[in-house]
Chain A
Amino acid sequence: MRNVLARAATSLAVMAAAWFTVATVAHADEMDDILKRGELIVAVQTQGPPVSFVDKNGERTGFAVEFSREMAKDLGVKAVFQDYDWKGLIPALLAGKVDMIAGDMTPTPQRASQLLFSRPMFFNDTIAFATKDSEFKSWEDLNKEGVTVAALQGSTYADAVTKYLPKATLKVFAGGGPAVAQTLAMGRVNAMVGGQDYNTYVRQFDTLKPLDGVMTREPLAFATRPNAFHLKMWLDNYVELKTADNSLRDLLAYWWTSDAWEKDHK
């Protein structure tokens, strides 16, 4: 009796092991998963126009969203968007909730040690803003004792302030770009540092102006899990192709380097 049981257990174990082997072969890579699922699951952050936002009709759109939609179309799958807060974006990718992060993330060395980044899709100028009545002309003028500069918490803009404006005092806010602009408009800080997309908010404040010069020019990329080599290679290839046929340039011209999107979506 015991012998039979032992044999049954052994064969069960073998079967289970075989099953797992088959299963691992079947899940050869993340690209297969996407194709089988029929869905490309994309994590986005609704950080505001023009990268990813909800427009006046309640539709999710923006450069990152539309570019991901094109990817899904070319793959023959549906693009599914999951909206996360900045805090939840990276954990969602690492926990396997999504296939990739489509947004304006800078591939810093520290981040790249934990994630795979695609080739840069676009570039973002870090610029400074101040009130119109201030004496600041260019961002270099901010590098003085007693000048307070605001930036978003955990952003590379905050790093740029520490690095290039060492004499100024940095204040980091967690509430989002518009709240930082509001703080500047109220005169609680002397300047703020952000991306070129901040122009969309700043234009709506009559009292604010961008300062001359570009502090840094940062590559922005989409991110995948550290073992998703196929998807990462696929993304690189995609950027290559879309650069070659100029469609990436056109998309960026619409969303990123001009205000063309404003009349359709704002």
Chain B
Amino acid sequence: MNWVLDFYNYRIVEQYLGRFAEGLENTLIAAGVSLVAAVILGTILALGRMSGRAILWRPVAGYVAFVLATPLLVQIYLIYYGLPILVPATGRWSELTLGIMALSLHNAAYMSEIIRGGIGSVSRGQIEGGKAVGMSYLQRLRYIVLPQAFANTLPPLLGQTAVLIKDTSLLSIIAVFDFLSAGLLLNSERVRPNESFLTIAVGYLAIYAVMMSLSWAVKRWLAGPAWNVGR
């Protein structure tokens, strides 16, 4: 194993396993919670954006444009430093909570664009066809609308989720100890860049792989036995 130690000294990494685990936990919590919040909030935003009333869609469009066209780093600082000025009670919230809030608000804008595309992609004829063969509302949702809308939104949704997971590392500016921070700590304390950056890369790729396999399983389940037809 000597040649491995030359390039990647796992003995040093072993000493930091605890810190990596702590960082991984925070990354997964921040990413998981803000993903769910962003999808919920994004759906609401998407519905607002698709509304015919200017009083609804204009503010939403403005919000989405602001979020998409400015860096997340700035948005995190805005929430962290700015929000307690507006709402003093939030000054007592933990860094992780405020960070999750910033990530959710940021990603909700992206999700709303994706969901808007997904809702628009299921044609009315499909739903009417379902009615014609006597399906109930729930059946139509389960067997017609959701599989198609989901299949159509899934790729961009996954892409955004991958970005979200990587973006959680920005929360380190407000003292959230994430997975990337653990690697950087190793680099700073032990001066071992290879060990630090390779471990980070492997960790993130593992999260990504798990996410991809999960989504693949969900997609197959939703599509039922006909998953392979139509391509």
Is the CB–CB distance between B188 and A115 below 8 Å? no
Tell me how many residues of B have a C-beta within 8 Å of chain A: 20
B185 is an interface residue with CB less than 8 A from chain A? yes
Closest partner residue, chain B, to A110 (CB atom): B190
A108 touching B175 in the complex, CB below 8 Å, given contacts A174-B181, A182-B81, A186-B91: no
Binding site for B on A (CB under 8 A): 86-87, 90-91, 94, 108, 110-111, 113-115, 150, 153-155, 171-175, 179, 182-183, 186-188
A111 touching B191 in the complex, CB below 8 Å, given contacts A154-B184, A174-B181: yes
**Tally of A-B residue pairs with Cβ under 8 A?**
62
CB contact between A154 and one of B77, B173, B175, B188 (< 8 Å): that residue: B188
Is the CB–CB distance between A172 and B173 below 8 Å? no
B113 is an interface residue with CB less than 8 A from chain A? no
Is the CB–CB distance between A154 and B91 below 8 Å? no
Is the CB–CB distance between A90 and B193 below 8 Å? yes
B152 is an interface residue with CB less than 8 A from chain A? no
Is the CB–CB distance between B187 and A174 below 8 Å? no
CA distance A161 to B188 in the complex (A): 17
Residues of B within 8 A of A94 (CB): 191, 193
Residues of B within 8 A of A90 (CB): 187-188, 191, 193
CB contact between A108 and one of B91, B177, B189, B192 (< 8 Å): that residue: B189
Residues of B within 8 A of A110 (CB): 189-191
Is the CB–CB distance between A154 and B189 below 8 Å? yes
- Minimum distance in angstroms from A33 CB to a CB of chain B: 22
Residues of A within 8 A of B77 (CB): 175, 179
CA distance A174 to B168 in the complex (A): 13
Is the CB–CB distance between A154 and B185 below 8 Å? yes
B95 is an interface residue with CB less than 8 A from chain A? yes
